[in-house]
Amino acid sequence: MNSVFKALADPTRRKVLELLRQRPMSAGELSEQFPVSRPTMSAHFAVLREADLIESNKIGTSIIYQLKLSVLEDALLSFTELFGIGAGKTQPKQTREGVDE
Amino acid sequence: MSDNPNLLRTRKQIVFSLKLAAVMLGGSLLLVLARKQGWVDAEHVLRANNVILGLALAAFSNATPKMLNGPPRSLHHATLAQAAGRVSGWTMTVAFLIWAALWAFAPREYATILSVAAVVASVVVSIGYAVWKSAACRASKSD
């Protein structure tokens, strides 16, 4: 449970989980949503995988990430989002192109 | 013995299910023993049994979205499985919590009917959502 709290404490990782709630996505699609480098995103994915909150599967030539949340973890994610715990550390809506400019 | 992640996952799920079954059986045995000793009456045994059953099945339903994720065949399949798993997990968990709460606090005639109605409603919602989502996925795939 400690690894779950650690994973949910970071706003970027929470944003990744929120995006995956809509549908499973590839690592590239997810990385495009954040103004951080791909190695940093890979580290975030590793933390989420270690906490057993997401899983990766190979479909064709792409690695697809999908949610693996229990109902309690899902509720915990909504709860942390509702109260904005750790908010303001990143600007997830900014794109990579925006940062490069 | 083996590091196969699928095997480890399956073993974890079986152990979790066996623990829940042990809790339900152990609880029932203790209640029967308490009844034989005359510590509780038949009404309390029935209610406590149903509360234990509701909580154990809520715990199982809580974990089902994690259990259902097998390797998907396609992105559409992954999207459908994830959405259906989340909705069924939520509805079943809430339904069994309602079941437990009703058997704990409601008058018996209401608890008997409404607890079953809650579970039936959750099954209908889960199946209905899966069918609707499947049709929506198929429609978007054909576009």
Query: Residue with structure tokens 């049709």?
Result: B135
Q: Are B121 and B92 in contact (CB under 8 A)?
A: no
Asked if the C-beta of B66 comes within 8 angstroms of chain A's C-beta atoms, the answer is: yes
Phi, psi of B134 (to 5 degrees): -65, -45
A60-98 confidence digits (pLDDT tens): 888 899 999 999 999 999 988 887 766 555 544 444 444
DSSP string, A32-80: TTSSS-HHHHHHHHHHHHHTTSEEEEEETTEEEEEE---HHHHHHHHHH
Q: Which of A22, A71, A74, A76 to mutate: most B Cβ within 10 Å? A: A71
User: Cβ separation of B65 and A70 shorter than 8 Å?
Assistant: yes
User: Cβ separation of B79 and A24 shorter than 8 Å?
Assistant: yes
A69: chain B residues, CB-CB within 8 Å: 65-66, 86
Enumerate the β-bridge partners of residue A63.
A58
B22: its two tokens: 């042990």
A11-30 confidence digits (pLDDT tens): 899 999 999 999 999 988 89
ipTM given for this complex: 0.83
Burial class (CB in 10 A: 0-12, 13-18, 19+), B143: exposed
User: Cβ separation of B93 and A71 shorter than 8 Å?
Assistant: yes
Category of B71 on φ-ψ map: left (φ > 0), alpha (ψ -120 to 50) or beta: beta
Q: What share of chain A is helix, strand, coil (3-state, %, to 5)?
A: 55, 15, 35
Greater pLDDT, B96 or B75: B96
B94-122 confidence digits (pLDDT tens): 999 999 999 999 999 999 999 999 999 99
Q: Are A27 and A44 in contact (CB under 8 A)?
A: no
User: Cβ separation of B78 and A71 shorter than 8 Å?
Assistant: no
User: Cβ separation of A74 and B71 shorter than 8 Å?
Assistant: no
